[in-house]
Amino acid sequence: MSRLPGIAVLVALAALIPAAPGATAPVGGKAAFAVPGEAAPGGRQAAFAQAARTYGVPESVLLAVSYLESRWDTNGGLPSVSAGYGPMHLVDAGIEPARHHHYEGGEDPRGDETRPYPLKIPDTTAVPPEDTLHRAAELTGLAPDLLREDPAANIRGGAALLADYQRRVGGKPSTDPADWYGAAARYSGSYPGAAGTGTDGDSGPGAVAGPDADAAGPGESPSDAEAADTEAADTEAARSFADEVYATIRSGAARVTDDGERVVLPAMPALSPRRPPSGRTAQRRGAPAPVSAPAPDCPPTVSCEWIPAAYKQLPGGGYGNHDRYDKPRKIDYIVIHDGETSYNVMTRLAKNPSYLSWHFTLRSSDGHIAQHLRANDIGWHAGNWYVNSRSIGLEHEGYLAKGGAWYTEAMYLASAKLVSYLAKKYDVPLNRAHIIGHDNVPGTTPETVSGMHEDPGPYWNWSHYFDLLGKPLKVADSFKLLGTPQKDPEDQGDQQTQEAQETQGTQKSQETQEARGSQKDQEAQGGQGARSGHADREGAAARSVLIKPDYALNRPGFTGCTGGCRRLGATSVWLHTRPSLEAPLVKDIGKHPTGGSSYSVYDHAARASTGQRYALAGRRGDWTAIWYLGQKAWFNDPVAAPTSVPVSGPLVTPKPGLRSVKLYGRAYPEASAYPRGVPAQALTPLQYSLPAGQLYSLGLTTRGAYLRTATFDPSSHRVIRGDIRYHQIQFGHRFMFVRASDVQVLPK
């Protein structure tokens, strides 16, 4: 697929084009508009004001650009997952890039043992991003280490870059923020030809991209049209970033940073930037797409382009790198990934038929999005065929091999806008049972559990993400009175009303036992539960808790980082066998069959994450217990700094008379549902079981289904549906499935 180049892209948008490589800073290494000034005294707000005065940048523009990069946070001086430092996200291009997370092996991305996928690892070299850290060092005369570690110096570096960009795009010194649109766009790093932004055609041997690209030869360079296409996308991305900067100025912002600094950007609702003339761009949003290529399936408020994934038959009878499906597809999940490599590499890998695929790639610097697959097509990304067949996968740029600990606000915003749009269009509820991480996807069989991937990990801020989605993870307005179901508008569970009615007759005795046990536990603990907020009045209690630590204040500590893991904000809480920090972590027999759980940043065996709902199992002092992987798991949840909130919602427990029930990694139909000629898929239970007396939160209910796509020809692909009904439950860090016939549902 290619798009026609525009006639006046570079002429009309000259303001977005950088000076030629090798262009030097003004004499003395200072930015063009710099005036003498001392280091800013006082706090973060004063640092922005001082840097703005020193370099002649409107303070509102400097604050808004920084907000889109870091929300004014310092992140402990550590780089982002895309190698940017400090409040201004100054990028160090010399940091060692990582490889895409599927290079590590351990997981078959297709997740279908009936047709295992021998992943071929292409030799794809990362293109380094623009090195803004060392450019800022040239402009300010400050040492790179100081720019990395000192927030005030970092802000000075960002201001110097903006002033330099204003000069480069032909702007004049101005105190009017409306005059800085071109410089803001240039700060995104997405101007045409910028390092590490577009694709360069290195798609691997035999790569074919798009429906009509089968004639492309091995190792072909991109056509002139494709190069212009990339250039147009970069221009659109730069505009989109600048538009977001000015939207932030119009709305204003205020928050306390991760190191306790209060920063305010006053709203300027009437501000309208003076944009350069738009000209005619190649395949701009709203323009007709070539007949062979679909228009990107993105909201109009983001920068988005179509870079199709490869679909080609391979030697030996196989094909790659996804499955096509020509009918509407049921979508239950949107899967969040951290790609562990650069946008440039991921968009090239998506065009390699011998690799794997996902639906969207998001760029860190500006939030630009590339779509690779139609929503109907099945990507090979989650390591579980059932989840792949019912999901859309989003890979987020993150190419730092060692120590990356945060994501840019520009990428969070773009991702949230995309997910909100997709969720509404494809009827996906906005909760953590449906908006999931790759690290929440279960293994398909016992053999695959230990190799499942761990991204996006503990530094993905789920609470902030759901705020951006417009579905904040809030405390329930009313608690669940034991035995008295109440409607909870925050809960988005998909449980079937029929099953709740079926269990009304059996739940009373269960609730009586639970209430007695809860009362006994509370009495033994001196009534600490009532004071903690998990019970707000005598006889009333929440039956579930939602994990929700304060991201900035919750610093659980990890091991496994090169050079040691600093204590930073994170979404995870550690789970212990007893209410004590000295107690061992709970065990995960699937992840660690012969050993215990660890504190590694890559080990989710004994962690619960923000937004996940679990059944309350007890309360003792500053500790809360939940049911987790078939055992009682304790996490620190002090009154002064709670890490969970009480919520209501449906729970499941084994039916009376059953000592335990089996758990599954996929919701496949029974053997009798398969037509002749289609092999029945085995209903293989995982190594876990749900014991009697324990409760787990219900996320959704579904009939068993299997999407059969075993050939290159999509006309033969079909869905087999059965009669077995499954409940998806939050059993550990990953969800799992139980047969509905094995459990009873306790309504919210």
pLDDT digit string (tens) for 273-307?
A: 998 765 433 333 333 444 456 789 999 999 999 99
On the question of pLDDT at 32 being above 50, the answer is no
Q: Are 79 and 403 in contact (CB under 8 A)?
A: yes
Residue 146: pLDDT band (50, 70, 90) is very high
Q: Return the pLDDT at 224.
A: 54
Report all structural domains of the chain as residue ranges with CATH numbers, in order of start: 9-466 (3.40.80.10), 508-649 (no CATH), 654-746 (no CATH)
Distance CA 370, CA 347 (A): 8
On the question of pLDDT at 702 being above 90, the answer is yes
Q: Return the pLDDT at 399.
A: 64
Which residues pair with residue 690 across a beta bridge?
Answer: 661
| Cis peptide bond prior to 456, omega within 30° of 0 | yes
Please tell me whether residue 44 adopts helix, strand or coil conformation. helix
Longest distance between any two alpha carbons in the chain, whole Å:
84
* Chain segment 571-604, per-residue pLDDT in tens: 999 999 999 999 999 999 999 999 999 999 999 9
On the question of pLDDT at 91 being above 50, the answer is yes
* Chain segment 537-570, per-residue pLDDT in tens: 233 467 999 999 999 999 999 998 877 788 889 9
Q: 133 or 514: which carries more pLDDT confidence?
A: 133
Q: Return the pLDDT at 233.
A: 61
Q: Are 147 and 154 in contact (CB under 8 A)?
A: yes
Which residues pair with residue 393 across a beta bridge?
Answer: 335
Instruction: For 340-373, give the DSSP string.
Output: SS-HHHHHHHTT-TTS---SEEE-TTT--EEE-S
Full-model pTM: 0.83
Q: 719 or 213: which carries more pLDDT confidence?
A: 719
* Chain segment 355-373, per-residue pLDDT in tens: 999 999 999 999 999 999 9
Rg (CA), the chain: 27
| Cis peptide bond prior to 344, omega within 30° of 0 | no
Please tell me whether residue 735 adopts helix, strand or coil conformation. strand
Across 309-334, average pLDDT: 92
Residue 99: pLDDT band (50, 70, 90) is low
Residue 236: pLDDT band (50, 70, 90) is confident
Q: 408 or 32: which carries more pLDDT confidence?
A: 408
Q: What are the structure tokens assigned to 122, written together?
A: 């292409």
Q: In whole numbers, what is the pLDDT of the chain averaged over residues?
A: 81
On the question of pLDDT at 203 being above 90, the answer is no
On the question of pLDDT at 34 being above 50, the answer is no
- Closest Cα partner for 119 from 208, 204, 1, 210? 204
Q: What are the strands, taking DSSP E only, across 346-458?
A: 360-362, 369-371, 391-396, 435-437
